[in-house]
Chains A and B, each alone.
Chain A
Amino acid sequence: MVKFWNSFLLLILTVAMMSGLTSCKKEVTNQDLLGVVKQRGVIVAGVKFDSKPFGFIDTDQKLKGFDVDLVREISKRVLGDENAVKFQQVTSSNRIFSLTTGSVDLVAATLTINTKRRQIIDFSSPYYIAGQAIMVPEKSDIKSARNLNGRKVIVVLGSTSEKNIRELAPRAIVQGFRTYTDAFSALRAGRADALTTDDTIITGFLAEDPNFKILNERYTKEPYGIGFKKGSDTQSFQNTVNTALDNIKADGTLELLRKKWVQKYNNR
């Protein structure tokens, strides 16, 4: 019994320590992020490594994609050098944490702007509008979201599709994975009947494996935005990036990127 009380005491200690850690006041004077970035000479950007065509490792082992190019364009306008970017991998489930912990300056990772996330982080204006779609094997009898009830559906944890699928098909058996690579390989192995996520990411998968198809319906509008950490110290950085983004939109660069990455995969 002594052992039990010991572990109980330890537990209380752990909880007390954690809440102590979290509630303690930040005494470090916050340095302005824009100043930090300029001094560093490099923007640390969180992008996905597994979501073709937005952020992915190509066959030549180089990181490419819409989001990657977008960050390079931003860097060109903020720091004057499109290569002054350090890319860090984020996934759907850790991209928000990597912002809040400050391990990246911004996140451009197929991140949908929504109110729930707005409470935690800040967003730029949207730079792309995607829509949730469903992907099934070529020979599947699934025609729409309603057919998914009682069937196995793959999602990626932390994505908006994961929450939406519960409304679209409440009785679907949801299997959540941490990365798109895991999710897609599970679908390929026949572990589920369908996969649901943004149409953009699905078209990327289709380019890899033509034995699957995308259903025509789009169930949501997913405006992608660049994510920032909340706080007064990031405001000037946010403004600078937003100005750069406006510039990228105005001078037609964004349209070029869209043509380069998204249309290429849609017209397969």
Chain B
Amino acid sequence: MYELNFSILYNALPAIINGLRITILISLFSSFFAFVIGVILAFLRNTDIPAVRITATVYVELVRNIPLLILLYLFYKGLSNIDINLPSIICGILALSLYTGAFISEVFRSGINSIASEQFEAARGLGLSRRQTFALVIFPQAIRIILPPLGSQFINLIKNSSLVSFIAVTDLFYVIYKGAVDDFRIFEFFIAGTIIYMGLTGIIAIITNLLEYCLKMPGRTIKI
């Protein structure tokens, strides 16, 4: 019989807070880079130049179809074979950004494609350049559509960041796992981990919901 004893978490609290700090750091940096990569890729996939379009498509399909762990090990172990020794935390941010960036670009692309092509033609007809059309007409509409799936991508990113513990980054999951195996208290530590991760992802959920509410265009929402 297993008896829960949450008091042991008290001793591990400083370590947990440290781990949380690193998880937040990795998530923030990766989210930013992933967003930038996603926007750039989505734009590249809608350009006129076939070579650029194909390259971007190949990149997206390649990256989003390999497991994140392989990507991580590629940066961590693969690069050290050719004498590039990046700190493990940088490897983690790189892998997470590239991986999530590929997914985010797909989210953007779906948003852009959902805008009727008449709008594109009308904007071009009014004399707007391609870039202006994208920035002033397509993007403001698309961002409202893609907000919920975009939020999901950031939530996935936070959860995926736990994989960096495999390359000895002392993130939240590393601390939780270490505590669980050191003290043989798997339930206490994993319940604590669940709560903390849910708190983090909950913040993202709240932010996306708030943004959705603020950006809502009158007359564009349907009540069922």
Contact = CB atoms under 8 A, between A and B. Distances in A.
Nearest to A26: B1
Interface residues of A, number: 37
B119 interface: no
Interface string A7-24: 110010011001100110
- Chain B interface main SS type: helix
A133 B194 CA distance: 36
B184 A3 contact: no
Of residues B81, B166, B177, B181, which shows the largest number of chain A Cβ atoms within 10 Å of its Cβ?
B181
Interface in A167-220: 175-178, 182, 185-186, 189-191
Interface of B: 1-4, 77, 80-81, 85, 88, 166, 168, 170, 174, 177-178, 181-182, 184, 186-187, 191, 194-195, 198, 202, 205-206, 209
A190 B3 contact: no
Nearest to B169: A175
B85 A190 contact: yes
A18 B191 contact: yes
A175 B205 CA distance: 33
A120 B181 contact: no
Contacts of A18: 187, 191
B184 A96 contact: yes
In the complex, the 3 A-B pairs of residues with the closest C-beta atoms, listed nearest first? A158-B181, A175-B168, A189-B80
A176 B181 CA distance: 12
A11 B166 contact: no
Given A4-B202, A23-B1, A191-B88, A176 B174 contact: yes
Contact of B178 (A15, A157, A182, A186): A157
A120 B2 CA distance: 10
Contact of A157 (B2, B3, B4, B177): B177
B168 A176 contact: yes
A268 interface: no
Contacts of A189: 77, 80-81, 85
A23 B188 CA distance: 13
B1 A25 contact: yes
